[in-house]
Amino acid sequence: MGLIYVKDMTHANGGKKLYENVTFRFNRKEHIALIGANGAGKTTLFNLLIGKMVPDKGTIEIHPKTKIGYLDQHLEVPTGTTVDAYLKDAFADLYYLEGKMNKLYEGMAIEYKEEDLVKALDIQNELDIKGFNQVEKRIGNLINGLGIGIDKLPLKLEEMSGGQKAKIMLAKLLVSDFDFFMLDEPTNFLDISQVEWLAKYLANFEKPFVLISHDVDFINKTCGIIYAIENLGLNRYVGNYDKYLEESEMRKLQYDNAFVSQQKQIDKLKTYVAKNAARASTAKSAQSRVKQLEKMDVMGKRQDLVKPNFKFAYKKPGSSIILDFKNLSLGYDHALIKDLNFVIREGEKHIVSGKNGVGKTTLLNTIAGVIKPFDGEIIYAPHLTFQYFKQIEKFEDITPIQYLLRKFPNITEQEARVKLSQFGIKTGLMFQSLTTLSGGEQAKVRLSALSLEKCALLLLDEPTNHIDVLAKESLLEAIQAFEGTVLLTTHDINFSTNWADSVIDFENKK
């Protein structure tokens, strides 16, 4: 038995069947990527494995004494706790032993006892074996690699941004003493250099893990086993993502050939039965073929994933210069970026790059009028229209259709349904609460809203977070086809090359 063994599992979520008679195991020493389209059931599987959900049918067996660590980015961190205390809580048992040892030494300073010295030395030996002297080094390595910054350690968790909290939770998980790790989109909120660092860290990670990610480059660098959610099943592939693509195409071809062959056999048997069932001389052989048909395990036709059809409508502005930055400084209580002086022209497409916290989102917020310039000004083209995809949006308990109708009261429900369908939202999901949809499905709903009104400028802040590979391909095609101007931030290496006119590099002030 592996660390986790799932047998004959069937499960539906929100009326949608996700898994049917699935059997698999996660073994020791494996670095696994769990892949699948948005809404296929990746996070649901994680919730089933940790016991937050119970499968409709089948069993889930966890190897005795196996401790599972789970990165749940929806989890709320405790208030009133410093970042340093929160991270060190991963070693609470060791700090308890240290406190116990220190009390023994304090007692011996008043009254020396041989047995207390023996106890203290035993505790010291246990701390040495468990690597207590390396705790601060391990924490420091992670907070530096993930870009948290040592200056954040004394601060309270509630003072951190959502992205910083996600990094801190990831750091705590990775220093914790679990036997198996489950990471749900661990690269969200990381910039490109931090994603690269995490990829190297996980590639050399001694413990087994399974991660959910739509970042192909990251999967290739970290995982040697792929589990793909396909046609209500979970198929295992040995190798990285590139190897999976090769083998997956081969398996699809084999399945299709077998399906066609079986259909021919079924047609042949049915034809024989139809011709011979009524004849006394051949009725027995016809009945034999009926039984053969009844016993046959009939293959279903394979369902290929449908690529969404993203499109953004263009509205020409009143000037070829879209944005003119004049001595522009960006920030809230202090300037993050100072004295920007350049123009952005009609039709240009730019990637805004730089480490987290350098001011990328602040730039987009300033252009969109969410915040005012810290100093200087932006001169906008006359009649400039724009659409803004924010990195984070909180949803009310409304359906995707209601979401679009609230933003655009002049469209009909049918028009909303057509638009959602184009962006990959299936009919059943259109009537579910947005709060129950996966992160990728929510992103597709938000992207569909951008397409309902013509604009000259698209502001896209990490639009590839959560969306699956086919959706990324469609989004890239839509951006390239869009006649207007695009300003986009992304940490996805696969998405950030070969289409932009330039990179606005805040980190190196270029």
> CATH second-level architecture of 321-505?
3-Layer(aba) Sandwich (3.40)
Nearest to 34, CA basis, from 258, 261, 217, 209: 209
Residue with tokens 């606005």: 504
Q: Phi, psi at residue 241, to the nearest 5°?
A: -65, -40
Q: At the topology level of CATH, where does 1-67+178-272 sit? A: Rossmann fold (3.40.50)
Tens digit of pLDDT at every position of the chain (510 positions): 589 999 999 999 877 899 999 999 999 999 999 999 998 999 999 999 999 999 999 999 999 999 999 987 667 778 889 999 999 999 999 999 999 999 999 999 998 889 999 999 999 999 999 999 999 999 999 999 999 888 889 999 888 877 788 899 999 999 999 999 999 999 988 888 899 999 999 999 999 999 999 999 999 999 999 999 998 999 999 999 999 999 999 998 998 899 999 999 999 999 999 888 778 778 888 899 999 999 998 888 887 778 899 999 999 999 999 999 999 999 888 888 889 999 999 999 999 988 777 888 899 999 999 999 999 999 999 999 999 999 888 889 999 999 999 999 999 999 999 999 999 999 989 999 999 898 899 999 999 999 999 999 999 999 998 899 999 999 999 999 999 999 999 888 777 667 888 888 887 655
Domain assignments of the chain as residue spans, ordered by start: 1-67+178-272, 83-160, 321-505
Evaluate whether 1-67+178-272 and 321-505 have a shared fold. Answer: yes
Helix (H, G, I), strand (E, B) or coil at 170: helix
Other residues' Cβ atoms within 10 Å of the Cβ of residue 157: 20
Query: 108, 116 in Cβ contact below 8 A?
Result: yes
The DSSP secondary-structure symbol of 307 reads P
Q: Within 13 A of 65's CA, how many CA atoms are on the CB side?
A: 0
Amino acid (one-letter) located at 499: W
pTM score of the predicted model: 0.83
Tell me the β-bridge partners of 238: 225
Q: Which residues contact 450 (CB under 8 A, 6 or more apart)?
A: 312, 387, 389, 458
C-alpha distance across the termini of the chain, in Å: 55
Q: Phi, psi at residue 233, to the nearest 5°?
A: -120, 175
- Tell me how long the chain is: 510
For residue 49, what is the enclosing H or E element? helix 42-49
